[in-house]
Structure formats: C-alpha cells, structure tokens
Amino acid sequence: MNMPFLATRPARAGASEPGQERRRFGEWRIALKSILGFWVVYALTVVARGWLAGDLQGTLSDKSFMILGGVVLTVGIYAAIELVAQDATIRRRALVAGVSSLLAACLQAGVLMVSDRWRDEHSREESRYQAREGFTVIQRGPEIRIERTAQEPLVLTLPKMSALNQREQLKIAADAAVIWLFFFAAWSAFYLATLAQSEALAAQRRLAGAERAAQTAQIRALRYQVNPHFLFNTLNSLSSLVLSGRPNEAEAMILKLSNFLRSTLTADATADVTLAEEIAMQRLYLDIETVRFPRRLKVEVDVPAELEKARLPALLLQPLIENAIKYGVSPTRDKVVLSIVARRVDDRSVQLAVTNRTSGGAQSRPSRHAVMNESTGVGLANVCQRLQARFGARAECHHGPLDEGGFEVRMTMPFERADG
C-alpha cells in the first residue's frame, strides 16, 4: 500500500546555558582533599625512604618542617586562586595559579634553607657506597666517612647551608625552587581540572533541570489545548441531540461525559500512562460518540498484551480520534471503521496507528485543513508536538490519506515499559 505520508517533526527550541555565580571558597572541600592527598603521597615517599635507610624517625624529623610548610603554601595557592580569579576564565585562573606556584616554590626553597639550621647532627640515616678506587663511602647525616684499606678512615663533615657563601646558597635555593615548582604546578593543574569538571557537571545539571521544566510546561500547555477542544465538540453534539428530540441519547451522553471528565481531570496533566490506560480512556470517549453515531461508527482495537505496559503521554490519541470522528464519520452515511493498532517495530520502538476508513465504498480524502484542524490550532500538530516534547528526536509522526480511501496517522516512539 503506497501512501504519500507526511513526516512531522517540529524543530527543537534552542536552550542557552544558565549562568550561576560561584560562591567564594565554595569548593574548599575539593581543595582540602586534593592538598591533603598530594602531601600524604609525598609523606609516604619520605617514610619509605627513611625505612629503607634504617632511620625512619630521623628522616621524618628532617622532612616534617618541609611538609608542614608545603601544606601551608599550597593552601596559599588555593586562596590566591579564589581571591584573585574566583569567577575568571580558566586562562586567568591558570595564570594566577602559575604565579602563585612560582612564589610558593621560592618560599619552599627558603623553608629548606631555614630548616637546615635545625638539621639533626646525629642522624642515624646511613648510606653506603663503593667507590671505583676501592674505598667505601659511608654517609650519616652531615658526616661522610671514607674507609681505606690499610689506612685510617677519613672523616669529613659537610657544612650547613648557612655556612656557605651567598652565591652557593642562592644556587642551592634555585635548584630546590625548580623542583618544588613542578610539585606546586602539578597540584594547581589537578585542582583547576577538578574545578572545571565540577563546574561543567553543575552546568549540565542546571541545563537538564531547565530543559525538564520547559518540557513539563510545554506538555502541560499542549495537554490543556486538548480538553477545551474535546469539551466543545461534545457539548456541540449534546446540543444537537437535544434539538433533534433525542433526550434519552442526550442523557446517556451526559453520563458518559461525566465519567470521561472524572477520569481525565483527576489525572496528572504531565504524567505518562500505559497504553492500556490510554485505550481505556479513549473507550470512554468513543462510548460518547457511539451515542451520536450508533450505526455509522465501528471501533476496532488491536493491542498485543506485550505492549499494554508501553508508556506514552496521557490523552495522546484524543485529538486523532476526534479528527477521525469529525472528518471521517460525520460527513458520510457509510459505516466507518476506526481502528487503533499497536505493533512492535523492534526491541526499542513501538508504533501506534489510528486509521479511519469506510467499510463499503470509497471515501473522499480529507483536505489538509480538515486534517490539521488549523482553525483551533490542535489536532495532528498537537500530537506531534507532544511526542517531540516527551521523546525528542527518538519519536516520529507520519500521516497521510490511504489509497483505498480514509486516513491514517502512524506514530513511532521508544518502547518504555511502565514496570521498568
């Protein structure tokens, strides 16, 4: 069967990322964890070195001042980033972090020079080397002992850095500063990367929240377009029954209308329903229409049991069935078969088809104006917009006249089960 179907997929509205000012020192937990993590790793390397050298206590005593000073300086880098470049670009933050790391490295080198004055003269940490000349070199703290065959050992004592001339002290301090610069720069890079990731995730959460709010508002607005349209059509039909002297049928329609409104008005306007619930809701509406067209309307529903739990927006089928009644049943004297068919497309998709065709003879094809019902702004446009709002690009809406007469609307959407 060849049908000139039209594919309707409304364009998605663009969304801009909402801005949000970050509180100063708001990420102090991340900073504190990363600072402690870096210096704990460094402390563990010091412990391992002291344990291998057999002087754990002496090594920790020598390095504890450096570790404490390093922690304080790293906290200073964090404070500089927050105070100077809190809401700046990543480039400016990196610049502030680089300058702060350089300054911290110079200060750490100064800490090294100062801590040398309190260096333990009786350190038990010992290193033993075998020289090429056959001498054994033993270093314990500042003392170097050279043991020579058949000769007295030669004992040397290294001077403290404070005893060196200023040029030598500056050279040692510069070498130390270069080493510590890489350490502080590594922490700064890690912190900035973690901060950027945290801000990106926060922006994604805000954007997702804004999209959900916009989607909810859109679905609610589209849903509320349906109810007045349906109510107008039903009251118009009820008026016709009264004017034509059919009070019993009018009373039956009023009762069915009350049941339908009770079911629809108590439901959440933005919630999904199962396909079985949607079919049950449409049967209430079709009960009303069969009062109007007892001999002209025949309803066929074909929904496999495995698809009854499929989720879809509530009252999604309502405009389609209304149009089928208004533009398929009302204009003809022939019996019209209105069918609702659900089929599994694949493991992830389900297709719903709403079709109206005459059971005998050809039926004139509805015009585009009749299909879209442009005068009230609802109908197929409403259905396709709701599908787009609920499922995005994963849903499709196709519609068109049938070759043998009648009209069909096919909707494809993701297969989401209500129980999982």
Give tens-digit pLDDT for 33-44.
Answer: 899 999 999 889
As to burial, measured by CB atoms within 10 angstroms (0-12 exposed, 13-18 middle, 19+ buried), residue 76 is: middle
pLDDT of residue 170: 82
Q: How confident is the model over 183-200, as a mean pLDDT?
A: 89
pLDDT of residue 98: 93
Higher pLDDT, 373 or 113: 113
Rounded to whole angstroms, the maximal C-alpha distance in the chain is: 137
d(CA 161, CA 355): 94
Question: Is residue 289 in some structural domain?
Answer: yes
Range of the domain at 115: 23-119+164-223
Do 46 and 147 lie in one domain? The reply is no
Kind plus residue range of the DSSP H or E element containing 356: strand 349-358
pLDDT of residue 168: 81
Do 108 and 125 lie in one domain? The reply is no
pLDDT in tens, 372-395: 333 333 568 878 888 888 888 889
Do 124 and 101 lie in one domain? The reply is no
Q: Is the pTM here over 0.95, yes or no?
A: no
3-state helix, strand, coil in the chain (%, to 5): 55, 15, 25
Q: How confident is the model over 220-238, as a mean pLDDT?
A: 66
Share of the chain above pLDDT 90, in %: 22
Tell me which of 103, 129, 159 is where a domain ends: 159
Do 83 and 149 lie in one domain? The reply is no
- How many CB atoms are located within 10 Å of the residue 69 CB? 18
Do 114 and 251 lie in one domain? The reply is no
Question: Is residue 2 in some structural domain?
Answer: no
Question: Is residue 7 in some structural domain?
Answer: no
Question: Is residue 134 in some structural domain?
Answer: yes
One-letter identity of residue 297: L
Question: Residue 256 is part of a domain; what is its CATH number?
Answer: 3.30.565.10
Q: How confident is the model over 91-112, as a mean pLDDT?
A: 90
Question: Is residue 78 in some structural domain?
Answer: yes
Higher pLDDT, 62 or 412: 412
b (16+ CB within 10 A) / e for 166-181: eeeeeebbeebbeebb
d(CA 68, CA 148): 41
Do 300 and 215 lie in one domain? The reply is no
Q: How confident is the model over 173-197, as a mean pLDDT?
A: 90
pLDDT of residue 375: 36
pLDDT of residue 220: 56
Higher pLDDT, 378 or 143: 143
pLDDT of residue 362: 47
Do 74 and 150 lie in one domain? The reply is no
Do 263 and 207 lie in one domain? The reply is no
pLDDT of residue 125: 58
d(CA 36, CA 44): 12
Structure confidence at residue 228 as a pLDDT band (50, 70, 90): low
Structure confidence at residue 189 as a pLDDT band (50, 70, 90): very high
Do 114 and 217 lie in one domain? The reply is yes
Question: Is residue 16 in some structural domain?
Answer: no
Do 29 and 48 lie in one domain? The reply is yes
b (16+ CB within 10 A) / e for 124-162: ebeeeeeeeeebeebbbbbebebbeeeeeeeeeeeeebe
Do 84 and 200 lie in one domain? The reply is yes
Do 31 and 104 lie in one domain? The reply is yes
Question: Is residue 4 in some structural domain?
Answer: no
Which of 301, 261, 307 is closest to 284 using CA atoms? 261
Question: Is residue 236 in some structural domain?
Answer: no
The total number of structural domains that make up the chain: 3
pLDDT in tens, 244-281: 888 888 888 888 888 877 776 666 656 788 999 999 98
pLDDT in tens, 44-85: 988 887 787 666 776 777 788 888 889 999 999 999 988 887
Q: Residue written as tokens 């105070």?
A: 83
